[in-house]
């Protein structure tokens, strides 16, 4: 089996992870259900649209450093995935998105108010489930939620006049993406009863690899001809959304980059200007610098894994690091 860059050569590990993810799917379906037809339909909308289930996978792999079949492992993965799904409903409203996972977004189908309330409903369901996991889990979830919201606020407001735009963006990625993936690794190891030092290492690993995957998507959005990120190449560029390569390019003082800098930082609704900016950015040294940054993050995550006991699960996590490097070329 290969999923998200993880190839399972250990059949016993593969069986446990598959069984765990399947149990998460079952519990997710139950958690988003509602006797109200509209709530049930809207809440299952994105769940039924699919998704990589990266976070539940990470929960299951992290649990391998303790008791992987502990009863609360799957429940903690459901908490994380419900939280992730809830953020997608809210993000689509903030971004005025029309499509999510190849299907009409909830806000385009039911309107912004319903989409926001469904996101709130999923957060509530996650809170209900996490309350059964103990006080520590509730505290972890609350702090993660706080970071998610702060990241969204930072992204919405943008950097202050005296703030470094790239540093601001990296902080947003850490809060909006890294925090929840870190919690996935922490929950998996914690619910499995792994030693505290292992939990801490896996949490830091999750934070780094989560950010690295997001930043790799930034590079793919520019470099890919086929939409490997699930979007039309140059989508962020067209919408004027800041990303790692564009922010690095904007810092360039090279006189030859003046035209690119003029184009960047604003929506490029004109097709000719968009094509020009995409071509210039692909050839700009900012792409190499962005790739180096992502590789460094993946390498740092890999170094953390060396602290963990040698096992098939550790090898699978190492493959995630290797996949990040492969994705950015």
Residue 88 and residue 151 in one domain? yes
Question: Which CATH number belongs to the domain containing residue 127 in this structure?
Answer: 1.10.600.10
Residue 146 and residue 264 in one domain? no
Residue 16 and residue 93 in one domain? yes
Element (H, E) at 75: helix 71-95
Q: Is residue 221 part of a domain?
A: yes
Q: Is residue 287 part of a domain?
A: yes
pLDDT at position 256: 85
pLDDT at position 4: 53
In this model, does residue 173 exceed pLDDT 80?
A: yes
Sign of the CA dihedral with 146 first, then 301, 322, and 317 last: negative
Tell whether pTM > 0.75: yes
pLDDT at position 5: 55
- Composition of the chain by helix, strand, coil, percent to 5: 75, 0, 25
pLDDT tens figures, 34-44? 899 888 888 88
Q: Is residue 187 part of a domain?
A: no
Query: Would you say how long the chain is, in residues?
Result: 329
pLDDT tens figures, 223-277? 987 644 456 778 888 888 899 999 999 999 888 899 999 999 788 999 999 999 9
Please give the tally of structural domains in the chain.
2
pLDDT at position 229: 46
Q: Is residue 186 part of a domain?
A: no
Q: Is residue 205 part of a domain?
A: yes
Nearest to 250 by CA among 290, 291, 294: 290
Residues whose CB falls within 8 Å of the CB of residue 21, separated by 6 or more in sequence, listed in order? 53, 56, 57, 60, 77
pLDDT tens figures, 121-144? 999 999 999 999 999 999 999 999
Residue 160 and residue 200 in one domain? no
pLDDT tens figures, 63-106? 999 999 999 999 999 999 999 999 988 888 877 767 776 677 77
| More confident: 212 or 105 | 212
In this model, does residue 3 exceed pLDDT 70?
A: no
Q: What gap in Å lies between CA 53 and CA 42, rounded to an integer?
A: 19
Nearest to 180 by CA among 126, 111, 118: 126
Domain residues for the domain of 279 are 195-328
Overall average pLDDT of the 277-289 stretch: 96
Are 165 and 245 in contact by the 8 Å Cβ rule? The answer is no
CA distance between the termini of the chain: 23
Of 16-30, 84-98, 301-315, the poorest mean pLDDT is in 84-98
Q: Residue 108 — pLDDT band, cuts 50, 70, 90?
A: confident
pLDDT at position 102: 65
């Amino acid at each position: 089996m290969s999923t998200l860059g993880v190839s399972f050569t250990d059949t016993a590990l593969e069986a446990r992870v598959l069984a765990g993810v399947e149990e998460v799917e079952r519990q997710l379906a139950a958690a988003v259900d509602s006797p109200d037809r509209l709530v049930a339909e809207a809440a299952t909308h994105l769940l039924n649209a699919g998704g990589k289930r990266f976070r539940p996978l990470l929960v299951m792999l992290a649990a391998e450093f303790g008791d992987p079949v502990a009863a609360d492992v799957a429940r903690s993965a459901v908490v994380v995935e419900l939280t992730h799904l809830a953020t997608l409903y809210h993000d689509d409203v903030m971004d005025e998105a029309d499509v999510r996972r190849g299907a009409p977004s909830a806000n385009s189908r039911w309107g912004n108010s319903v989409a926001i309330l469904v996101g709130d409903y999923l957060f509530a369901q996650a809170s209900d489930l996490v309350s059964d996991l103990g006080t520590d889990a509730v505290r972890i979830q609350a702090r993660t939620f706080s970071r998610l919201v702060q990241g969204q606020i930072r992204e919405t407001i943008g950097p202050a006049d005296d703030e470094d735009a790239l540093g601001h963006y990296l902080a947003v990625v850490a809060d909006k993406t890294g925090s929840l993936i870190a919690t996935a690794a922490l929950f998996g190891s914690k619910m499995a009863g792994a030693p505290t030092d292992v939990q801490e290492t896996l949490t830091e690993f999750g934070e780094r690899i989560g950010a690295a995957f997001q930043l790799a998507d930034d590079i793919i959005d520019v470099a890919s001809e086929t939409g490997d990120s699930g979007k039309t190449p140059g989508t962020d560029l067209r919408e004027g959304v800041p990303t790692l390569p564009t922010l690095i390019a904007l810092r360039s003082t090279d006189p030859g980059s003046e035209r690119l800098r003029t184009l960047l930082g604003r929506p490029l609704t004109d097709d000719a200007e968009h094509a020009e900016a995409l071509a210039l950015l692909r050839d700009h040294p900012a792409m190499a610098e962005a790739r180096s940054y992502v590789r460094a993050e993946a390498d740092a995550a890999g170094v953390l894994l060396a602290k963990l006991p040698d096992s098939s699960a550790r090898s699978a996590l190492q493959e995630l690091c290797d996949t990040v490097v492969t994705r950015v070329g």
